[in-house]
Structure 1
Amino acid sequence: MRRVVYNGERLGLREVTEADVPPLHAVYGDHAATQHMPFGPRTQPEVARLVDQAMEAATAEPRVLYVLAVVDAAHRDVIGVVRLRIEADHPHSAEIGFGLHPHQWGRGIGTDLVRLLLAFGFKELGLHRVWGARSPANLPAQLAMLTAGMVEEGRIRHHVHTPHGWRDSIVHSALEDEWIER
């Protein structure tokens, strides 16, 4: 198994561990942080199960799921989580998702995180396409993805069921041959 440690200027990505449950619960358990996700706030035992599943997925060969802690480079604190899932039928394409603690919002961290994910996907995993879907109301995610170089592709109607009913998703993508590391 190849352990992931991938560092950028302000952020790093690394494998999640059991010790990350409390800081990840601070994201997944927060109403503001989960408002655009297809689920409500998670309990600490639910987050612990997610971490266990992520650690198990890290041992799969071939590996298709990366759930990684987002670490502040200066302080080494866990400030968020990313998910990159390689598509089974299209192994050169992957879906990304991310969540940051609300204290990190408004500082350009989301844009840096998307840039880091794109670099990881293209440079380290050899992907051709990286895409993500966001809530139409999640304008900070839109800005982060566009600023990082992703292109808005369109809307998937009634894509996910949330605690509040069906929700559309806006899809963004980046292609390896168009991507310029920013």
Structure 2
Amino acid sequence: MTPLHLAGPRLALREVEPGDTDDLLAIYGDPESTKHLSFEPRTRDQVEAITTRSIDSASAVPRIEYCLAVTHRDEHRLIGYARLATEPQQAATIGFALHPAEWGKGLGTETVHLLCALGFNVLGLHRIWAARAPLNEASARTLLRAGMTEDGRIRDHVFVHGAWRDSITYSILEHEWVPIDGLKTDESRRA
């Protein structure tokens, strides 16, 4: 396995490591962090399983899922979690979550750009899409700022908090994506 590392002006994506569990639990175990996600707050055991699955997915052949730690560019500590899952027809779905202390700084937009760099520059994809909760207006602004286009609504897409919830979908095509300045793709460097 060649470790994946992508760097932007302020953030980097790296492979998930066993020591990331506590920082991931601070995101996925927090009701505020997960209120717009497709699942309820996770327990420590559930987050440990996510960490293990993320590490295992990095060595799968072929690799179809990239579960990555989001860090500040020159730091190692996980401040977010990003995922790209490939699909047939040169496509992938993406998703991410940042620690609430990092909200409102434009880091979500940079995270989407890093995921697009992975998809378009590294994997040679044609289309990347994402979904958000209808009430998550911050996510709508993030996805639009990253260059994505709103595609539509998937009705009753996820069952969360005891009820069915719609999702609003967005996509971007390879020829539409414009990388941000300072973006660097380097699969061989470890953060």
Q: TM-score, normalised by structure 1?
A: 0.95
The residue number in structure 2 matching 1:126 is 124
Q: Counterpart amino acid of 2:164?
A: W
1:32 aligned counterpart, secondary structure? helix
Question: What is the Cα deviation at residue 156 of structure 1?
Answer: 0.6
Residue 155 (structure 1) aligned with residue 145 (structure 2): no
Question: What is the Cα deviation at residue 101 of structure 1?
Answer: 0.3
Deviation string for 1:100-146 (max 9, x for gaps)? 00000011111111111111211111111010011011111111100
User: Would the aligned equivalents of 1:152 and 1:173 in 2 still touch at CA under 8 Å?
Assistant: yes
The residue number in structure 2 matching 1:173 is 171
1:118 aligned counterpart, secondary structure? helix
User: Would the aligned equivalents of 1:38 and 1:163 in 2 still touch at CA under 8 Å?
Assistant: no
Give the Cα–Cα distance (whole angstroms) in 2 for the partners of residues 74 and 4 of structure 1: 16
The residue number in structure 1 matching 2:187 is none
Give the Cα–Cα distance (whole angstroms) in 2 for the partners of residues 151 and 169 of structure 1: 14
The residue number in structure 1 matching 2:19 is 19
Give the 4+ runs in structure 1 shifted more than 4 A. none
Residue 81 (structure 1) aligned with residue 81 (structure 2): yes
The residue number in structure 2 matching 1:104 is 102
2:32 aligned counterpart, secondary structure? coil
2:92 aligned counterpart, secondary structure? strand
Question: What is the Cα deviation at residue 76 of structure 1?
Answer: 3.1
Q: Counterpart amino acid of 1:150?
A: M
The residue number in structure 2 matching 1:4 is 4
The residue number in structure 2 matching 1:33 is 33
1:107 aligned counterpart, secondary structure? coil
Give the Cα–Cα distance (whole angstroms) in 1 for the partners of residues 53 and 78 of structure 2: 18
Question: What is the Cα deviation at residue 56 of structure 1?
Answer: 1.1
Gaps of 5+ in 2: 181-191
RMSD: 1.0
Question: What is the Cα deviation at residue 36 of structure 1?
Answer: 0.8
Q: Which has the higher contact order (CA 8 A, sep 6+)?
A: 2
Q: TM-score, normalised by structure 2?
A: 0.91
